[in-house]
Amino acid sequence: MIDTYTGIETDATASGPVAGRAPRVLQVLPSLAAGGVERTAVDVAAGLVAQGVETFVASEGGRLVHDLEKIGAKHLTLPLATKNPFRIRRNIERLREAIRAHGIELVHARSRAPAWSARAAARAEGLPFVTTYAGTYNEDFPLKRRYNGIMAAGDAVIANSHFIADHVLARYPEAAGRLVTIPRGIDIDLFDPARVSQERVIAVAKAWRMPDGVPVILMPGRLTRWKGQGFLVDALAALGRRDIACFIVGDDQGRKKYLTELEDKIRHHDLGGVVRIVGHCRDMAAAYMLADVVAAPSLDPEAFGRVPVEAQAMGRPVVATDHGGFRETVIPGETALLVPPGDVQGLAQAIKAALDLDTAARQSLAPYARAHVAATWTVDHMVASTIEIYCQLMARRRPPPA
């Protein structure tokens, strides 16, 4: 098919490259912590490895390095999280050395600071350069738009949702001919209720000291103000119930001040017996199994937002804010209830409505929500489309075989 925003041809139903051998790819990002950008890099690496392609990811490291190496990709540890312009310049040569040492044929940047080094290195080595534009990126001072613009400067610019594609076109219309929308996806086999054992569910419940017999609200997401943890706590206070349990799941990533503010808010509302902050969870599929409602109350628009997609795949009702990528991935009024961002009473009422769903409604929602996700929002779809972009660029770069 021809993508909505560009003349680049992709075949989303293909199981592998359609334009020849997939190139040896280097993905570049600041670190491999547990965020969506990082998870996507690992997923694409896994898809490349499955195609028999030697695959590399360069970053400063993090907990997902283990996952990356487990699937057979190689990690190159480089100081790519820096925003210091002198260090960014130094990283150009580091990346050029890595490109030459490992026979890299295409460079794919997933974040702004390392993208500046990566583009210069790719250009110097004569390689195609791909970017994934994965956020709205703030523009709080005049030079910020130019800084952000590196993500619209690839030979192909991948937007991870139509919301982001529209955002890119509004700010960088010159990218129109290079822009392609490839939605992020989840591992539909990993997030499958039928594959989650009772033992795994019990292990998470014990680790969180989950009370028996009360409805559970789950909010996954790294601890940062715009994700809306505080908004959720205010809504739970407005809801006024004490016969529920809410688990806020995610890493603070060093944001200790915000963590303290959140704990203070919980105490202020006297919700210590209701709301618990449990940190990072490595078995989110089991965690979703414990949830009666999954909340995604982001205050700023999510570029994509994997939480509602994962929750739907697990057959759980979702309450989310009505903006950004969430509008694309849920079916409002059927698989999810959407509320205006910052509307405390609206969020409280939506949570109440989701908690009040009877058994029959939940049983009918689960397969419908899962089928909705399986139709579009899968890793297989994302990886196949991404590999095809790689192959299209390489086909343009190399002359056809004699």
Query: Is the CA virtual torsion 98, 35, 190, 280 positive or negative?
Result: positive
Q: How many domains does the chain have?
A: 2
State whether 227 and 177 are in the same domain.
no
Return the biggest CA–CA distance within the chain: 75
State whether 210 and 110 are in the same domain.
no
Strand partners, 180: 158
Q: How far apart are CA 140 and CA 61, in angstroms?
A: 29
Q: Domain range spanning residue 119? A: 25-185+378-394
Residue 90 forms part of a structural domain: yes
Element (H, E) at 25: strand 25-28
Query: Per-residue b/e over 341-353, b at no fewer than 16 CB within 10 Å?
Result: bebbebbbbbbbe
Residue 400 forms part of a structural domain: no
Q: How far apart are CA 97 and CA 5, in angstroms?
A: 35
Residue 148 forms part of a structural domain: yes
State whether 346 and 202 are in the same domain.
yes
Strand partners, 217: 246, 293
Confidence of residue 22 (pLDDT cuts 50, 70, 90): low
State whether 317 and 246 are in the same domain.
yes
Segment 153-172, tens digit of pLDDT: 999 999 999 999 999 999 99
Percent of the chain with pLDDT over 90: 83
Residue 8 forms part of a structural domain: no
* pLDDT above 80 (res 221): yes
**pLDDT value for 300:** 95
Burial environment of residue 358 by CB neighbours within 10 A (0 to 12, 13 to 18, 19 or more): exposed
CB 98 within 8 A of CB 56: yes
Strand partners, 245: 216
* Rounded average pLDDT over 244-255: 93
* Rounded average pLDDT over 219-245: 96
Confidence of residue 396 (pLDDT cuts 50, 70, 90): confident
Residue 18 forms part of a structural domain: no
Q: Give the count of beta carbons closer than 10 Å to the beta carbon of residue 210.
A: 17
Structure tokens at 199: 């033992």
* Rounded average pLDDT over 351-377: 95
Segment 250-272, tens digit of pLDDT: 988 889 999 999 999 999 999 99
CB 278 within 8 A of CB 205: no
State whether 236 and 140 are in the same domain.
no
State whether 239 and 298 are in the same domain.
yes
CB 104 within 8 A of CB 121: no
* Rounded average pLDDT over 286-302: 97
CB 117 within 8 A of CB 151: no
Residue 208 forms part of a structural domain: yes
State whether 249 and 341 are in the same domain.
yes
State whether 225 and 81 are in the same domain.
no
Confidence of residue 140 (pLDDT cuts 50, 70, 90): confident
Residue 272 forms part of a structural domain: yes
State whether 181 and 63 are in the same domain.
yes
Element (H, E) at 9: none
* pLDDT above 60 (res 348): yes
Segment 186-215, tens digit of pLDDT: 999 999 999 999 999 999 999 999 999 999
* Rounded average pLDDT over 379-389: 93
* pLDDT above 90 (res 144): no
Which residue, chain included where needed, has tokens 């297989």? Answer: 380
Q: How far apart are CA 242 and CA 22, in angstroms?
A: 55
How many residues would you count in the chain?
402
Confidence of residue 20 (pLDDT cuts 50, 70, 90): low
State whether 90 and 146 are in the same domain.
yes
State whether 109 and 254 are in the same domain.
no
**Closest to 216 (Cα-Cα) out of 192, 185, 249, 247:** 247
State whether 316 and 173 are in the same domain.
no
* Rounded average pLDDT over 71-94: 94
Percent of the chain with pLDDT over 70: 93
Q: How far apart are CA 260 and CA 126, in angstroms?
A: 49
What is the overall mean pLDDT for the chain?
Answer: 91
Segment 91-131, tens digit of pLDDT: 999 999 999 999 999 999 999 999 999 999 999 999 999 99
CB 179 within 8 A of CB 169: yes
**pLDDT value for 8:** 43
Confidence of residue 21 (pLDDT cuts 50, 70, 90): low
Q: How far apart are CA 324 and CA 36, in angstroms?
A: 15
* pLDDT above 50 (res 3): no
CB 238 within 8 A of CB 267: no
Confidence of residue 400 (pLDDT cuts 50, 70, 90): very low
The model carries a pTM of 0.86
Q: Which domain CATH number covers 54?
A: 3.40.50.2000
Residue 14 forms part of a structural domain: no
